[in-house]
Chains A and B, each alone.
Chain A
Amino acid sequence: MAWPLRDKTCIVGVGETEYTKWGGIARPEFQLALEAILKAVDDAGLDIKDVDGLVTYAQERSEPVAVAQALGLREVRYAGLYPGGGNAACGVVHDAAMALFSETADIVVCYRSRCQGQYGRSSSGVASGVGKGDTVGGIFQFTAPFGLIAPASVYAFEARRHMHEYGTTSRHFGAIAVASYKHAQQNPRAVMHGRPITLEDHQASRIIADPYRLYDCCQESDGACAVVVTRADRARSLKQKPVYITGAALGNGTSDGLDRSRWPDTRWTSAGLVQVAESLYRRAGLGPADIDVAQFYENFTGQVLMAIEDFGFCKRGEGGPFIEGGRIEWPDGDLPLNTSGGNLAEGFIHGLSLVVEGARQMRGQSTAQVADAETCLVVGGPSAPPHSALVLRAG
């Protein structure tokens, strides 16, 4: 039986503030959230007062109730917080689709706002539970005292294990960064617009946590973005060409979680998305061969490579050779990846910007538009359960 939500909801508006390097925006983070929401609703041709649902990440500081009050929304009928951080990038849209299909709400906005200059950078240990105190609790008590503080050092473990088992190399990881930077040269919004890199630049960049170099790590940015979601029947009469949510899935497999010690061996050479990929394809009624363009959340390049394997674009261990030879580069590659520049080179808005780019591809409005693209896969933060992913389809 087909998934009841298939093609029943649509992204009908997208919006964003400018994206800058972290610390580049002086306006309050909360204001950026409001700006992005207003732009997305305007893009949809809707009235902000008609928005009755708000969904964001659990880590978002601009909470739905504060947003609703500030914008004078008439009535809030759904407010959701998807667990975690970048893993939520597609989870918020899945949440919106459920709220809409159940007629809990009629117009739902998903948003994310980050000013790392105002609130601290991920690479400084904020993401590892290390605060100003000299002790650390929870699962981080088994990692931070050993110097695993910045996320790069934690995710490097899986990259190294994949290299050991399958012969994957740093140059394979570099090919992902080169593609993202190449696509950012098309995109005037991208922080790295005007700053292309070569594979040699990647290889010469400083080591952060071996095997990861600087260009393997997502940048840290200031900015906000938002998408508007509504039911398909209403979407068809709105201003923009509707972008159908054909499939959506979230979650993780057994023994997955933030405590890596509990992972089974096979999880260490994966991005943890195997189960989500299987659910997503079944719900969408599609497979990897049907995907025209893809946006994969880049926390670190190795996690993208493993996520490509999880989604069945190649066999386990073959991700390195798969991405070589320009296969993931627009315009000529078979699977153009992260066509806005992604987290690495457009801006790091915790991945919701990848949903925005997916919607633009399906509207034919990307700055690196894939010709005749009808389907787009969007994958939320890999190796950070609960995971999430979407298949979008052009209306």
Chain B
Amino acid sequence: MTPLFSPGMPLPAPDAVTGEFWKACREHRLVVQKCVACGTHRFSPGPVCSECHSFDYVLAESRGVGEVFTYTIVHHVSHPATRAAVPYNAVVVRLADCGGVKLVSNLVDCDNDDIHVGMLVELAWDDVTAEVTLPRFKRLSRSNIGPETLK
């Protein structure tokens, strides 16, 4: 994938709570915490279920299909590593599975003018360094659209 941003762009600093999420990304798996006690999914990762307060969870793997919930096109250069990238998009994707959790990402291989709320998207893994992989998204391919896609 063509790099979205220049070298030096801030990268995630995995910690005790978020490490397993980023490790799974490295393996091209998008995982979302699911409460063992009540089944509620949560993102971003955290130690406790806000619904039932159980600390027990499993990692559910998402199929990585979803829709654009909202978006922005950033023109302002707020970091040197974004200078060559502006104007670039940032989106909030609502996953079709995993309780419909939302995550911030970017759409790749897509004109900024084509982005709209409700647009169907799928994962496009971006191995930005030897250690870090970020979950970006692209327009959903027709071959992936079926009756089950948004269930």
**Binary flags per residue of A201-228, CB closer than 8 Å to B gives 1, else 0:** 0000011111110000000000000000
Identify the closest chain B residue to A269 (Cβ): B70
A residues in contact with B78, CB < 8 Å: 123-125, 128, 149-150, 153
A residues in contact with B73, CB < 8 Å: 207, 209-210
8 of the cross-chain contacts (CB-CB < 8 Å) are A130-B10, A137-B15, A141-B12, A141-B14, A141-B18, A142-B103, A146-B106, A153-B90
Nearest CB of B to A383, in Å: 13
B90→A146 contact, CB < 8 A? yes
- From DSSP, what is the main secondary structure of chain B's interface residues? loop
Assess whether B92 is interfacial by the CB under 8 Å rule. Answer: yes
B9→A145 contact, CB < 8 A? yes
Q: Which 6 A-B pairs have the closest CB atoms?
A: A150-B78, A141-B12, A156-B72, A135-B13, A210-B73, A149-B78
B13→A141 contact, CB < 8 A? yes
Identify the closest chain A residue to B92 (Cβ): A157
Which of A124, A128, A134 contacts B11 (CB under 8 A)? A134
B residues in contact with A207, CB < 8 Å: 73, 75, 87
A residues in contact with B13, CB < 8 Å: 135-137, 141
A209→B69 contact, CB < 8 A? no
Knowing A146-B104, A160-B71, A164-B117, say if A136 contacts B11 (CB, 8 Å): yes
Most buried by B among A147, A255, A259: A147
Interface size on B, residues (CB 8 A): 42
Give the docked Cα–Cα distance between A123 and B78 (Å). Answer: 6
Give the docked Cα–Cα distance between A130 and B128 (Å). Answer: 18
Give the docked Cα–Cα distance between A207 and B13 (Å). Answer: 31
Which of B69, B76, B103 contacts A123 (CB under 8 A)? B76
Assess whether A139 is interfacial by the CB under 8 Å rule. Answer: yes
Assess whether A193 is interfacial by the CB under 8 Å rule. Answer: no
B residues in contact with A208, CB < 8 Å: 74-76
**Binary flags per residue of B99-112, CB closer than 8 Å to A gives 1, else 0:** 00111111000000
B43→A261 contact, CB < 8 A? yes
Nearest CB of B to A157, in Å: 5
